[in-house]
Amino acid sequence: MTKSEMNKPEPFKLHVAEQDIADLKARLERTRFPDSAPGEAGSDPWAFGTDVAYLRTLVQYWRERFDWRAEEAALNAFPQFRVPLDGIDLHYLHIPGVGENPMPLLLLHGWPGSVFEFIDVIPRLTDPARFGGDPRDAFTVIAPSLPGYGLSFKPGQKRYAVPEMADCVAALMHDVLGFKRFAAQGGDWGAAVTSRLGYAHAEKMIGIHLNLWAAAGREASTFENPTEEEKRYLGELAHWTREETGYQWIQGTRPQTLSFALTDSPAGLAGWIVEKFRAWSDCGGDVERAISRDRMLADISLYWFTGAIGSSFWPYYARLHGSAILPRGATITVPTGYAQFPREILKPPRSAIERVHTNIRRWSVMEKGGHFAALEQPDLLAHEVRAFFRELR
């Protein structure tokens, strides 16, 4: 068998068995909810984490009204494939662009996201004319489930850190799909993988676009004699480290222990994930203003049905145990675009990013949106991606 035959993609359609849907609903029916500390949170029921009353409402909706088959069909509207690669079966969407010479674009999600993040942004990238854009800006979009996430997971498979993820998706684009050079865009871990691609696979990259800076700069010691803008960022970083990183420590130090609870309890899984959707989105405290209830539950359900929550923690464990996104002092020289959304978890100054990315071609401060840019603001993100790569065609 030749290498090309070994890495031959096979068409894929998502279909969850009815018995698995019935099991989910039965588990939701038996949910045991905790109490909430009386009076301690004052007027903010989210002060200590996920609001019990909100999760009760969400679980009831999930059990009684959520239509998994509709969300499944929305994903299946895109061509999907699986390919044996690097010892796993890698899942990906592959949507041809509508235009004369579509640019190949690798679109990468993060945690606690999935390919469900991209349902609304993909058509805006593959067929911009349909949304009032220029057909010359079209992309052919390849959106993999990151190794160890969702449909790129099966029990017992090896775990992936960011460098290995980058190597795997680079092999998908270059070796399997035959793109000599390609573009990449990502947020969250997808931004880390995209940055790693810009460093380790620079010769294959047309350019990279980020909506989170993940490569470096989260240590106060990085900034000597900080400017006023850098001082603002350091204050933001100190608050983030003190109040918002508990999930990173448990996922990065004891991922297996947490996996028992979230693999066994769908309500527990929802409570863990929805708190991040609310805290990191531009929602004004009401998560469903930024992300629809059905799309949130589609993402959470995918983690549930695939059993991939434990393996999705691995990049956190790897980072805390020595697997760096970039070597210390490394720089990325490929053309870089950056969109800073106002409710992103951290908003570093340009001076910080330029220490790593030495070829920033586009820097945009967005008017609205948060961490989940493709979910929250697909029009704005697609516009930025098209505008950045237009100059690189």
Give the residue numbers annotated as catalytic, written as ranges: 188, 316, 371
**222 within 8 A of 352, measured Cβ to Cβ:** yes
> CA 232 from chain center: how many Å?
26
CA distance 357 to 166: 17
Structure-block tokens of residue 364: 């945009």
**134 within 8 A of 128, measured Cβ to Cβ:** yes
Q: Checking phi first, is residue 8 left (phi over 0); if not, alpha (psi -120 to 50) or beta?
A: beta
CA distance 271 to 383: 33
CA distance 253 to 296: 27
Secondary element (H or E) of residue 390 = helix 378-390
DSSP E strand stretches across the chain: 10-11, 80-85, 88-95, 103-108, 139-144, 182-186, 205-210, 336-340, 360-365
CA distance 167 to 163: 6
CA distance 78 to 91: 12
User: What is the side-by-side strand order in the sheet with 336-340?
Assistant: 10-11, 80-85, 88-95, 139-144, 103-108, 182-186, 205-210, 336-340, 360-365
Secondary element (H or E) of residue 242 = helix 228-243
DSSP result, 93-116: EEE--SSSSPEEEEEE--TT--GG
CA distance 385 to 37: 45
